[in-house]
Amino acid sequence: MLSGANSAANSEIYNKIKSEISSKVSNEVSNEMNSELSSKANNTVKNSMSKVTFVLNGQAVESSENPTKRLLDILREDHGLVGAKEGCGEGECGGCAVLLDYKIVNSCLTPLGSVQDKQVITIEGLSLSTEGQTIKKAFEDYGSVQCGICTPGMMIATASLLHHNQKPTEAEIREGLSGNLCRCTGYNMIVKAIQYLADEKGELWC
């Protein structure tokens, strides 16, 4: 078992999401990606040494890339997971956000080596889970999406926020989104979507 077991992510809900994602990942996410992953995994197993092992969207993966390489590049270039976007490259915009043991991190500032034995969930994975689909529906109903470039990051931020605080106040919601810049929406309709989720869908996270 991987050491994510000790983290905050070790809640039932996390495991539930994880298993949901991994079953869906193997069914729905492109087979092409899976075979790419497994061939990579095979290669890296062979040349052992400094490989980094982690769980990506519910599946164990290994990377023999330089551990200082940005997780963002690993995801986008090696795994074809381009849902995380580079908006600034310096940890300020949240466009590249992913869940690391169910907590939001900016993958542009996360070195590959630091995810050793951890669980990484990207927007591609999140959106397959019940939580992801529930947030998605709220974003649709409240008009939270305009150009969409910040949206994967906003989804990740919402999941991270609600995971750690099922009943956030408006101020806590705003604080929870404050690492994610959006230039289109003025945040109004994103905040409203999350208020709805907190009011009506709290049971999903508790």
Angstrom distance (rounded) from CA 41 to CA 64 = 9
Q: Give yes or no for residue 14 binding another protein (CB under 8 A).
A: no
User: Among ligand FES, another protein, none, what does residue 108 contact (CB within 5–8 Å per kind)?
Assistant: ligand FES
Interface mask (CB under 8 A) for another protein, residues 161-180, using x and -?
---------xx-xxxxxxxx
- Residues shown for the chain: 206
Cβ atoms within 10 A of the Cβ of 8, count?
Answer: 12
Inter-CA distances, 5 with 69, 72, 81, 164, Å: 25, 24, 25, 16
Q: Give yes or no for residue 152 binding ligand FES (CB under 6 A).
A: no
The DSSP line for 95-142 is: TTEEEETTEEEETTS-BGGGGTT-EEE-HHHHTTSHHHHHHHHHHHHH
Q: Give yes or no for residue 111 binding ligand FES (CB under 6 A).
A: no
User: Among another protein, ligand FES, none, what does residue 139 contact (CB within 5–8 Å per kind)?
Assistant: another protein
Applying CB under 8 A, which residues contact another protein? 76, 81-90, 92-93, 95, 122-124, 127, 136, 139-140, 143, 145-152, 155, 170-171, 173-191
Applying CB under 6 A, which residues contact ligand FES? 86-89, 91-96, 106, 108, 145-150, 182-185
